[in-house]
Structure 1
Amino acid sequence: MVKVDTDLPKGGKLVVSIVDEGILQLTKFRTPSPEKWFLAKRKLDLETRDLYGHLIQNKTGEVIRLHFGGDGNNAPVAPPMETFVKPVALVTKLVTVDANGDAEVDFDVPQFNGRLRIMAIAFDERAMGSTEGQVTVRNPIVVQPQLPRFIAASDGAMIGVSLHNMELPETNVRLEWQTTGGLAIASKEQNLTLLEGQRLDSTLRLWGVEKGKNQIKLAVVPEVGAAQFYEWDLTVVGHRLVEQHLQQVSLHPGEQTIILSKVGQLLPDTRKIEVSATASPLLQTKWISDGLSNYPFGCLEQTTSKAWPMLLSSESTMEAEKKESHINKAINHLATMQLSNGSFSLWSGGSTTQTWLTMYAFDFMLEARSRGYDIPRGMFDRAETYVRNFSTRSDLGALSYALYLQVKLGGADLGLLRYVSHDVSNGRNFGAQTYNHIILANDLLGNRDVVETLLDALNRRYPSHGWDRRNYSSNLRDKAMNIFVRLEAKTINDSMKDAAILDVVELFEDARETYWLSTQEKAWLLRLADKVGPARSLDLDLPITLDLSDNKLADLASYLEKQDRFARLRNTSKEDMYLSITSTGINTSYSQPSNNGLTIDTNYLDLATGKSIDLDKVRVGLNVLVNHEVTVPRRIDQEISMEARIPAGFELENPRLSGHRTELAD
Structure 2
Amino acid sequence: WLHGAPAPGLKTVVEMRVSAGKTRFEKYPGFHFDDESKRFDALTETLFESRLDDKGEARIPLKINIKDAPGMLNVHLKTRVFERGGDFSVDRITVPYSPFVSYAGLRIPEGRGWNGALYSDREQLIPVVTVDENGHPVSRRKLHVEVFEIQWRWWWQRTGNEDLGYYLRSRHARKIIDDYMSTKNGKGIYSLRFPQQTFGRKFIRITDPVSGHSTGKVFYTDYPGWWDQPGHGAPGGAEMLTFSTDKDKYRVGETVHIKLPKARKGKALISIENGNRVLETFWMDTEKEKDGARFVITDDMAPNVYVHISYIQPHERTDNDRPIRLYGIKNIEVENPDTHLEPVLEVADELRPETEVTLRVREKKGRPMTYSVFVVDEGLLSLTRFRTPDPWSHFFAREALGVRTYDMYKYVLGAFHGRIAGLLAVGGDADLVLAGEAKINRFKPVVKFIGTFTTGKNQSRTHRFRMPNYVGAVRTMVVAASPDKVAYGSVSKTSEVKKPLMVLATAPRVLAPAEETEVAVTVFAMKPAVKKVTVRVSGNELTEWEGARQQQVRFDKPGEKTLHFRLKVKKRTGAARIKVTAQSGNEKARYEIEIPVSVRNPRITRTHQAVLHNPGEVKDWTYTPFGLKGTNKTVLEVSVIPPIGLENRLNYLITYPHGCVEQTVSSVFPQLYLTRLTEVEPLQQARIKDHILAGLDRLKTFQTSGGGFAYWPGGTKADDWATSYAGHFMLEARRLGYPLPPDMLEKWLHYQTRRAAGWSDNPALSIYLRRSRQTAQAYRLFTLALAGKPALAPMNRMREIESLYPATKWLLIGAYALAGKKNTARSMMKETSVRMDGYRNDPYTYGDTSRDNAIILYVLSLLGEDDKAAILLEQVAKDLASDQWLSTQTTAYSLMAVAAYAGKHPGHGTAFKYTLDGKTRSVESGKSLMQLPLPARAGQSYRIAVESKTEGPLFVKLIQSGIPLESPDAAENNNLEMNLRYYDTNGNPVDPASIKQGTDFIAEIRITHPGTLPPYRNMALTYLFPSGWELTNARLDNIRRWKSSPADYRDIRDDRVMTYFDLQRGETKTYRFLFHAAYPGRYYLPSVQCEAMYDHRISALTGGKWVEVMP
Does TM, normalized by the shorter one, top 0.5? yes
- Match 2:888 to one of 516, 519, 526: 519
Name the structure 2 match of 1:108: 466
- Match 1:179 to one of 533, 539, 557: 539
Q: Distance in 2 between matches of 1:369 and 1:397?
A: 28
Change (3 A) 1:379 1:581: same
Name the structure 1 match of 2:1025: 646
The 8 Å contact of residues 501 and 523 in structure 2, kept in 1 or not, is answered as: yes
Give the C-alpha shift of residue 520 in structure 1. 1.6
Give the C-alpha shift of residue 156 in structure 1. 1.2
Give the C-alpha shift of residue 587 in structure 1. 3.2
**2:890 partner SS:** helix
Name the structure 1 match of 2:587: 226
The 8 Å contact of residues 259 and 567 in structure 1, kept in 2 or not, is answered as: yes
Please report the RMSD computed on the Cα atoms of aligned residues, expressed in angstroms. 4.6
TM-score (norm 2): 0.47
Name the structure 1 match of 2:773: 398
Name the structure 2 match of 1:609: 986
Give the C-alpha shift of residue 637 in structure 1. 1.0
CA offsets 1:400-432 (integer angstroms, 9 cap, x no match): 5646875853735798666545x35xxxxxx55
**1:640 partner SS:** strand
Name the structure 1 match of 2:959: 582
Q: Distance in 1 between matches of 2:1035 and 2:795?
A: 62
- Match 1:136 to one of 485, 491, 496: 496
Q: Distance in 1 between matches of 2:398 and 2:721?
A: 54
Name the structure 1 match of 2:615: 253
**1:152 partner SS:** coil
Change (3 A) 1:284 1:103: same
The 8 Å contact of residues 600 and 630 in structure 1, kept in 2 or not, is answered as: yes
The AA in structure 2 aligned to 1:173 is: V
Q: Distance in 1 between matches of 2:715 and 2:392?
A: 46
- Match 1:336 to one of 700, 704, 707: 704
The 8 Å contact of residues 259 and 569 in structure 1, kept in 2 or not, is answered as: yes
Q: Distance in 2 between matches of 1:543 and 1:367?
A: 36
The AA in structure 2 aligned to 1:514 is: Q
Give ranges in structure 2 of 5+ residues lacking alignment.
Answer: 1-356, 405-440, 764-769, 924-930, 1045-1111
Change (3 A) 1:171 1:98: farther
The 8 Å contact of residues 501 and 526 in structure 2, kept in 1 or not, is answered as: yes
Task: Provide the identity percentage.
Answer: 22
Name the structure 2 match of 1:216: 578
Change (3 A) 1:572 1:211: closer
Name the structure 2 match of 1:58: none
- Answering whether residue 878 of structure 2 is matched by residue 506 of structure 1, we say yes
TM-score (norm 1): 0.74
Change (3 A) 1:414 1:274: closer
Mapping 1:610-629, distance limit 5 Å: 610-615=987-992, 618=995, 622-629=999-1006
Give the C-alpha shift of residue 337 in structure 1. 6.7
Q: Distance in 2 between matches of 1:489 and 1:220?
A: 72
Change (3 A) 1:97 1:649: farther
- Match 2:568 to one of 207, 211, 219: 207
Report which stretch shifted further, 12-21 or 269-278: 12-21
Q: Distance in 2 between matches of 1:629 and 1:237?
A: 28
- Match 2:445 to one of 63, 66, 87: 87
Give the C-alpha shift of residue 503 in structure 1. 2.8
Change (3 A) 1:416 1:585: same
Give the C-alpha shift of residue 528 in structure 1. 1.8
Change (3 A) 1:201 1:279: same
Name the structure 2 match of 1:154: 514
Q: Which structure: greater helix fraction? A: 1
Name the structure 2 match of 1:2: 358
Change (3 A) 1:10 1:348: closer
**1:149 partner SS:** coil
**2:470 partner SS:** coil
Mapping 1:296-335, distance limit 5 Å: 297=658, 299=660, 301-303=662-664, 305-306=666-667, 308-310=669-671, 312=673, 314=675, 318=685, 322=690, 325=693, 328-329=696-697, 332=700, 335=703
Mapping 1:629-644, distance limit 5 Å: 629-634=1006-1011, 635=1013, 637-644=1016-1023
CA offsets 1:342-398 (integer angstroms, 9 cap, x no match): x76545665666555566566667767777887744541441243245330422443
The AA in structure 2 aligned to 1:181 is: E
Q: Distance in 2 between matches of 1:658 and 1:397?
A: 40
Change (3 A) 1:141 1:597: farther
Give the C-alpha shift of residue 121 in structure 1. 5.6
Q: Distance in 2 between matches of 1:308 and 1:149?
A: 33
Change (3 A) 1:420 1:216: same
- Answering whether residue 243 of structure 2 is matched by residue 243 of structure 1, we say no
Give the C-alpha shift of residue 525 in structure 1. 0.8
Change (3 A) 1:599 1:206: farther
The 8 Å contact of residues 519 and 566 in structure 2, kept in 1 or not, is answered as: yes
Name the structure 1 match of 2:846: 472
Give the C-alpha shift of residue 196 in structure 1. 1.1
The 8 Å contact of residues 502 and 523 in structure 2, kept in 1 or not, is answered as: yes
Q: Distance in 2 between matches of 1:570 and 1:298?
A: 39
Name the structure 1 match of 2:184: none
Change (3 A) 1:47 1:641: farther
The 8 Å contact of residues 266 and 585 in structure 1, kept in 2 or not, is answered as: yes
Q: Distance in 2 between matches of 1:296 and 1:651?
A: 20
Change (3 A) 1:639 1:276: closer
Give the C-alpha shift of residue 648 in structure 1. 1.2
The AA in structure 1 aligned to 2:582 is: V
Report which stretch shifted further, 185-194 or 556-565: 556-565
Give the C-alpha shift of residue 445 in structure 1. 4.0
The AA in structure 1 aligned to 2:774 is: L
Name the structure 1 match of 2:354: none
Give the C-alpha shift of residue 140 in structure 1. 2.8
Give the C-alpha shift of residue 33 in structure 1. 5.8
**2:466 partner SS:** coil
Give the C-alpha shift of residue 570 in structure 1. 5.2
- Match 1:463 to one of 818, 838, 846: 838
- Match 2:525 to one of 161, 165, 169: 165
Q: Distance in 1 between matches of 2:701 and 2:488?
A: 44
Report which stretch shifted further, 648-657 or 172-181: 648-657
Name the structure 2 match of 1:52: none
The AA in structure 2 aligned to 1:609 is: N
**1:641 partner SS:** strand
Q: Distance in 1 between matches of 2:873 and 2:1040?
A: 64
Name the structure 2 match of 1:62: none
Give the C-alpha shift of residue 194 in structure 1. 0.9
CA offsets 1:415-472 (integer angstroms, 9 cap, x no match): 8666545x35xxxxxx5534644676798546768645542xx64x6422x3121333
The AA in structure 2 aligned to 1:399 is: Q
Q: Distance in 2 between matches of 1:159 and 1:380?
A: 55
Change (3 A) 1:338 1:299: farther
The AA in structure 2 aligned to 1:146 is: T
Q: Distance in 1 between matches of 2:858 and 2:474?
A: 64
Change (3 A) 1:31 1:442: closer
**2:527 partner SS:** coil
The AA in structure 2 aligned to 1:266 is: G
Change (3 A) 1:413 1:137: closer
Number of matched residues? 605
Question: Greater Rg, structure 1 or structure 2?
Answer: 2
**1:92 partner SS:** strand
The AA in structure 1 aligned to 2:920 is: N
